[in-house]
A and B are shown apart, each in its own frame.
Chain A
Amino acid sequence: MTAYPASDPALIADAARERRFFLSLSVPALVIVGLSAVLPILWILRQSFLNIGGDATLANWSKILNSGLTWSAMQTTFLLSGSTLVICVILGTPLALALASTTPRKANLLMIFLLLPLWTSILVRTYGWLVLLRREGLINGALQGIGLTSEPMPLVYNTTGVLVGMVHYMLPLYVLPVYAAMRDIDGSVVRAAASMGATLGQAIRTVILPLARGGIVSGSIIVFVYTLGFFITPAVLGGGKVNPIAIRIERTIGAFQDWGGASVLGMLLLLTVALVGAMVLALRRVAGVRHA
């Protein structure tokens, strides 16, 4: 065995200095996130254990966790997020495939249409849907005008109306990562599948979708997690009958001035998101993402 000469401490120090420099680049972001997100969350956590007088108590937690309203709000939240996710996957995946298969020029043009909703205020869009969907609205007017229905259909102030608004908002955010993943698939791989006898449907199922899996998973997480906290859309289009957890929080403060209870609900929502995140990570590890 040859004895190697000892490493030069000056060179090791240089390497350490370089690492420290790159780490230090993340300090501004860490400070902002710490001040604007982590601190308030800790403050809310603390508040959930305080009564109006400012004394420590578990009453807020036991009251919220034992309330039927809380669990029905949770159920509504999951129903809305889950349904929005399913509809986005069904509508958005073919759309992303269409975008990815056309020429870059056309794809860019179509992309503008896709992103247009994102550049409009969510309030404007939500009230826009109200105009279209209400009893005397455009859609019901047209349906009765051509004689398809005699009575106005209940399209808004219910789950249907809320889902329409939520899907409209989330669809671009789902399509973007899926489109990016599909565009990166090498066209010759699809041609290879066809040359071996695969129909277009078989090629999509066995090659394109598996290779776009990373994008589909990312898009799905975005849709599901994002919609867990939706407030404006159910507030306007739900007409008081569709009450996910965000609306519950607003009522708890607005109607009852119960800051402690609202804090508990907020923490529950945060826990839910964290749980979903942990589940996705665990699934990923189990499935063994071979090609991410």
Chain B
Amino acid sequence: MTPVPITFEAVRKSFGAYLALDNVSLAVAAGEFLTLLGPSGSGKTTLLMALAGFVRPDAGHIRLGERDITRLAPNLRDIGIVFQNYALFPHMTVRGNVEYPLRLRKTAADEMRQRVEAALDRVQLGHLADRDIAALSGGQRQRVALARAIVYEPRVMLMDEPLSALDKNLRESMQYEIRRLHDALGVTTIYVTHDQREALTMSDRIAVMDKGRIQQIDAPQAIYHRPATRFVAEFMGEANILPAAALRHSPGAGPKVGSVVIRAESFHLSPEGLGDAAVALDGRLVAKAFRGENWLLTVMTAAGQEVAMSIPATRAAGCADLAEGAVVAAFAAAGTVHPLAEVATP
């Protein structure tokens, strides 16, 4: 199985008056793990289903490798899908589910047994092969869905929020497991989620979607530290968007006009160790909360804007003693102040 690249060319899809995909163009490299990240209704699942063949685009082209599959029937596309609710066949055992795609391909009995065992072993479910689906836990069902999607070695793997029904701990361990599976198989993968942390953890690249458009596509670190738009900055976690003029700048530090993004965790309560180029922000403490690994402070600037700060427990000396209403001076290294491309905030 050689991995193939996926190309979307100006794909458009509307449902009535609602534009779900607004001329989306996207190139996914062979063997890449790309995540479509966005809120519900952003078009990420529509894009995935268009690739799978279950949503017919109004215009545009979708290619697998060189081949234009825009009009190809779903069952001829050779794509593996892990659905949000797993979509397992409840009337079959675990083995029956994983065998299903091989039976359709008329695989010989010997080979089928070997491949089913191999796929189940890969997801550590070999011992449950003869269980009924109803007798499995959520995490086990998730693994069956994975095994069923990899057993026929499709050229492309699509995952539609596959972990959203699992509890937090299981979700986090499955993130690593799925990524490991991808690295072992090398299959081109598109992963859909609305969980930014999941996207950051798993992806080679992230495409952030909103209102049927790709807002930014880049490596996780770039998306996180250098968001292209206000939407991306806000969606990627605790980001403060401030007018640059609200900050005190040390000489030569950062832009002085427009809006800047400063992550909550970039703030320090003392300028020590930040170097010469730094910015400072003054305000009063509105609220504080201890969360174990960090303190969360909410500081209101003189202009009335609330700023979230996350101070790691390792350098949180004095946080416990701060009283509400106390005057706070916070500092951030100039390198962590990222100018937004758009015009100043209203």
Question: Do A and B bind?
Answer: yes
* Interface residues in chain A, defined as those with a beta carbon under 8 Å from any beta carbon in chain B: 186, 188-189, 191-199, 202, 206-207, 210-211, 213, 290-291
B300: min CB distance to chain A, Å: 47
Q: Please give, as numbers and ranges, the residues of chain A lying within 8 Å of B104 by CB-CB distance.
A: 196-198, 202
Interface pair B74/A207, CB less than 8 Å apart:
no
How far is B100's CA from A206's CA once the two chains are assembled, in angstroms? 9
**Given that A196-B101, A199-B75 are known contacts, is A210 also in contact with B91, CB under 8 Å in the complex?**
yes
How far is B39's CA from A110's CA once the two chains are assembled, in angstroms? 37
B132: min CB distance to chain A, Å: 6
Interface size on B, residues (CB 8 A): 27
Asked whether B44 is an interface residue with its Cβ less than 8 Å from the other chain, the reply is no
B138: min CB distance to chain A, Å: 16
12 contacts between A and B (CB under 8 A): A186-B87, A188-B85, A192-B89, A195-B52, A195-B74, A195-B79, A197-B101, A197-B105, A207-B89, A213-B91, A290-B134, A291-B90
Q: Please give, as numbers and ranges, the residues of chain B lying within 8 Å of A291 by CB-CB distance.
A: 90-91, 134
Q: Please give, as numbers and ranges, the residues of chain B lying within 8 Å of A188 by CB-CB distance.
A: 83-85, 87
How far is B212's CA from A67's CA once the two chains are assembled, in angstroms? 78
Interface pair B83/A191, CB less than 8 Å apart:
yes
Interface pair B105/A290, CB less than 8 Å apart:
no
How far is B106's CA from A202's CA once the two chains are assembled, in angstroms? 13
Asked whether B148 is an interface residue with its Cβ less than 8 Å from the other chain, the reply is yes
Q: Please give, as numbers and ranges, the residues of chain A lying within 8 Å of B134 by CB-CB distance.
A: 290-291
Q: Please give, as numbers and ranges, the residues of chain A lying within 8 Å of B101 by CB-CB distance.
A: 196-197
Q: Please give, as numbers and ranges, the residues of chain A lying within 8 Å of B5 by CB-CB distance.
A: none
Q: Please give, as numbers and ranges, the residues of chain A lying within 8 Å of B152 by CB-CB distance.
A: 196-197
How far is B35's CA from A193's CA once the two chains are assembled, in angstroms? 24
* Interface residues in chain B, defined as those with a beta carbon under 8 Å from any beta carbon in chain A: 52-54, 74-81, 83-85, 87-91, 100-101, 104-105, 132, 134, 148, 152
How far is B105's CA from A186's CA once the two chains are assembled, in angstroms? 24
Q: Please give, as numbers and ranges, the residues of chain A lying within 8 Å of B54 by CB-CB distance.
A: 191, 194
**Given that A186-B85, A202-B104, A206-B100 are known contacts, is A194 also in contact with B74, CB under 8 Å in the complex?**
yes
Q: Please give, as numbers and ranges, the residues of chain B lying within 8 Å of A202 by CB-CB distance.
A: 104
A interface SS class: helix
A69: min CB distance to chain B, Å: 46
Interface pair B81/A195, CB less than 8 Å apart:
yes
- Which A-B residue pairs are the 10 nearest by beta carbons? A196-B101, A192-B87, A188-B87, A194-B74, A195-B81, A197-B104, A291-B91, A210-B91, A188-B83, A194-B75
Q: A192-B88, A291-B134 are in contact. List 13 more A-B contacts (CB 8 A).
A: A186-B85, A188-B83, A188-B85, A189-B89, A191-B81, A192-B83, A195-B80, A196-B148, A197-B104, A197-B105, A210-B91, A290-B91, A290-B132
How far is B75's CA from A213's CA once the two chains are assembled, in angstroms? 24
Interface pair B100/A191, CB less than 8 Å apart:
no
Q: Please give, as numbers and ranges, the residues of chain A lying within 8 Å of B74 by CB-CB distance.
A: 191, 194-195
How far is B91's CA from A211's CA once the two chains are assembled, in angstroms? 7
B154: min CB distance to chain A, Å: 8
Q: Please give, as numbers and ranges, the residues of chain B lying within 8 Å of A192 by CB-CB distance.
A: 81, 83, 87-89, 148
How far is B148's CA from A188's CA once the two chains are assembled, in angstroms? 14
Q: Please give, as numbers and ranges, the residues of chain A lying within 8 Å of B79 by CB-CB distance.
A: 195
Q: Please give, as numbers and ranges, the residues of chain A lying within 8 Å of B75 by CB-CB distance.
A: 194-199
A104: min CB distance to chain B, Å: 16
Q: Please give, as numbers and ranges, the residues of chain A lying within 8 Å of B91 by CB-CB distance.
A: 210-211, 213, 290-291
A194: min CB distance to chain B, Å: 4
Closest residue of B by beta carbon distance from A289:
B91
Q: Please give, as numbers and ranges, the residues of chain B lying within 8 Å of A194 by CB-CB distance.
A: 53-54, 74-75
Q: Please give, as numbers and ranges, the residues of chain B lying within 8 Å of A189 by CB-CB distance.
A: 87-90
A1: min CB distance to chain B, Å: 32
How far is B104's CA from A93's CA once the two chains are assembled, in angstroms? 24
Q: Please give, as numbers and ranges, the residues of chain A lying within 8 Å of B148 by CB-CB distance.
A: 192, 196
How far is B139's CA from A273's CA once the two chains are assembled, in angstroms? 46
A207: min CB distance to chain B, Å: 6
B334: min CB distance to chain A, Å: 49
Closest residue of A by beta carbon distance from B54:
A191
How far is B152's CA from A211's CA once the two chains are assembled, in angstroms? 24
**Given that A197-B152, A202-B104 are known contacts, is A191 also in contact with B132, CB under 8 Å in the complex?**
no
How far is B320's CA from A39's CA once the two chains are assembled, in angstroms? 82
Q: Please give, as numbers and ranges, the residues of chain B lying within 8 Å of A206 by CB-CB distance.
A: 100
B90: min CB distance to chain A, Å: 5
Q: Please give, as numbers and ranges, the residues of chain B lying within 8 Å of A213 by CB-CB distance.
A: 91
Q: Please give, as numbers and ranges, the residues of chain B lying within 8 Å of A207 by CB-CB distance.
A: 89
Q: Please give, as numbers and ranges, the residues of chain B lying within 8 Å of A193 by CB-CB distance.
A: 89, 100
Closest residue of B by beta carbon distance from A192:
B87
Q: Please give, as numbers and ranges, the residues of chain A lying within 8 Å of B84 by CB-CB distance.
A: 188
A78: min CB distance to chain B, Å: 31
How far is B92's CA from A44's CA once the two chains are assembled, in angstroms? 48
Q: Please give, as numbers and ranges, the residues of chain B lying within 8 Å of A210 by CB-CB distance.
A: 91
How far is B83's CA from A13's CA once the two chains are assembled, in angstroms? 49
